[in-house]
A and B are shown apart, each in its own frame.
Chain A
Amino acid sequence: MSDDRDAVELPDTIELPRLLDFYELQTAEHTGIHEFYERLHEGRLSTTRCSDCGDVQFPPRIVCPECHCDDLEYVDLPREGELFAFSMLRAGAPLGMEDEVPFVTGIVEVGDVRLSARIDGAEYDDLAIGDPVELKVVEIDGPADHERVFYRFEPR
């Protein structure tokens, strides 16, 4: 071994780009569906409806997939829904969620929309298909320059 070799210095840890935290950037400068997130900040879960053909989408869009009209309006979804299916993540969590397992995740029906959502405030064994659940909004602390929020549900 030579003592006079140049050493290449790498940092011990390489900071992860924000995309690895799973939560989208939510403001108008980042996403065309910022109004969805703005309403969520106010505690309202919403989605888009086509002003031309009336199609209601979820997730919200900027173009209607049925008629390709780009004039979409935001409509609020009910705060209360029904649990359609649920399971748990007990291991194998992605980056940023390792400290949260185990948790319940599920599918909730709210109005005409069926969406996936974390189910807070309940153990798996206490839940049943058809249980009434209610919207809650959580704040996301993390590597972004603006306050982010997301929706979850909890037993009613």
Chain B
Amino acid sequence: MTRSVGIVGGGHTRWGDREATYKDLIQEAGKATFDDVSGVGPGDIEGLFVGSVQPERFAFQTHVAPMVAELLGVAPDSMIARTELACASGQAALRYAWLAIAAGQLDTALVLGVEKMNLPDEHAAEAQSGMTNVMDREFDGVNGLNAPPYFAMVAQRHMHEYGTTREQLAQVSAKNKSHAAHNEFAQFQEEVSVDDVIDSFPLSPPLCLYDCSGITDGAAGLILMSEEKAREVTDEAAWITGSGQACFASNSVNNLPSMSAWPQATTAAEQAYDQAGIDDPVAELDVAEVHDCFSISEIVEYEDLGWVEKGEGGQFVEDGRSALDGDIAVNPRGGLLGCGHPLGATGVSQALEIYNQFRGDVPAERRVPDPETGLIHNLSGSASVHSVMTMARGRP
């Protein structure tokens, strides 16, 4: 194995509460993706990987990968699949596409992530039902444990054990939402202050509304190619240098290793760093898109991705080390907090952001200075699974 695989382009829909169907979103993202990569058309796609979590619930549709193929005129003759890994479904699709190309099964793949989550207002509770069965429905969902109260308890435990402050949580949200203010695809394009976060609706204390990502409609796509093929169509790529994942035989509360630490993230990151030859991630990573489904998540991730000692994540943001000009620019796209979180599309959009940062194709207000290396990270469900991928800027 181990052929080099590169992201050679991608595209995005506008994200938000969209007046668009699931199928509309697929077509918008597909068009944007193929428009971005001259020299690659639908007829070149040998593998199709679709990240989507709950089309059965939100769009009343299953078997969605062939629907994507039909809508975009793609005829994959090697592999076609949908991935479902809750909030990390987009990254899972990307990981499988990478593996298939690296293993020599195919040379050109389309990765498309899509989620239609906003139902008409009177059906909001039905959408929430879809978000409350991500942990064990019988023993956790039944207690109202959807994401906000669950991650609120992670915040509560992290504050209790390590002294993380309410202000530090808000600093994450203010940073990421302020990046999203300069992202034309983002759901929330407004500058937000630390005080705005703390004063927002106390949805699931200690977390407030602005500590939470959104309920979002959106899609994004990527074209992946083997190094040989990539050379034919582009002089700028994001090479995938490492990819790791871990789950510790757990999904429901009793079986998680911790409520304030995610050692699965450490395992996944170590795999990716090892493959990429990264010894000192803080020194060697320039830009990262990490899973800030809630403000607390990003703080735990600074720690468990191996950037700071356990308990020092709050200080990392407070000291500006995750700012655009900090040690690692974290979530310049705007994160899930600013862009929203159309579950299956998030990981795809994160990877596209790393590629766009490499090629300088982002507004100056949120551009990372000359990045050469990047990382994406997603957790899923009760943070029981963590997925990490590293990338390097390349010119094939």
> Contact residues of A with B, CB < 8 Å?
20, 22-24, 57-59, 65, 84-98, 100-101, 103, 105-107, 113-118, 124, 129, 150
Contact indicator B136/A59 (Cβ below 8 Å) = yes
Contact indicator A107/B125 (Cβ below 8 Å) = no
The chain B residue sitting closest to A56, CB to CB, is B254
Contact indicator B254/A90 (Cβ below 8 Å) = no
Say if the beta carbon of B17 comes within 8 Å of chain A.
Answer: no
Say if the beta carbon of B252 comes within 8 Å of chain A.
Answer: yes
B109-124 vs A: 1/0 string, CB under 8 Å?
Answer: 0000000000000001
Contact indicator B149/A91 (Cβ below 8 Å) = no
Which residues of chain B from 139 to 159 have a CB within 8 Å of any chain A CB? 139-146, 148-150, 152-153, 156-157
Contact indicator B252/A105 (Cβ below 8 Å) = no
The distance in angstroms between the C-alpha atoms of A85 and B259, with both chains bound, is 9
Contact indicator B128/A92 (Cβ below 8 Å) = yes
Tell me the minimal C-beta distance from B101 to chain A in angstroms.
35
Which residues of chain B from 197 to 252 have a CB within 8 Å of any chain A CB? 201-207, 249, 252
The distance in angstroms between the C-alpha atoms of A90 and B129, with both chains bound, is 15
Cβ–Cβ < 8 Å partners of A22 in chain B: 129, 132-133, 137, 141-142
Tell me the minimal C-beta distance from B44 to chain A in angstroms.
42
The distance in angstroms between the C-alpha atoms of A89 and B202, with both chains bound, is 10
Cβ–Cβ < 8 Å partners of B395 in chain A: none
Contact indicator A116/B145 (Cβ below 8 Å) = yes
Cβ–Cβ < 8 Å partners of B148 in chain A: 87, 89, 92
Cβ contact of B141, chosen from A86, A91, A94, A100, cutoff 8 A: A94
Return the 7 tightest CB-CB contacts between A and B, nearest first: A87-B152, A85-B153, A94-B129, A94-B132, A87-B149, A58-B254, A89-B144
Contact indicator B253/A94 (Cβ below 8 Å) = no
Tell me the minimal C-beta distance from B383 to chain A in angstroms.
14
Cβ contact of A89, chosen from B139, B149, B156, cutoff 8 A: B149
Between-chain CB contacts (< 8 Å), 6 pairs: A87-B149, A89-B204, A92-B148, A94-B131, A95-B129, A100-B144
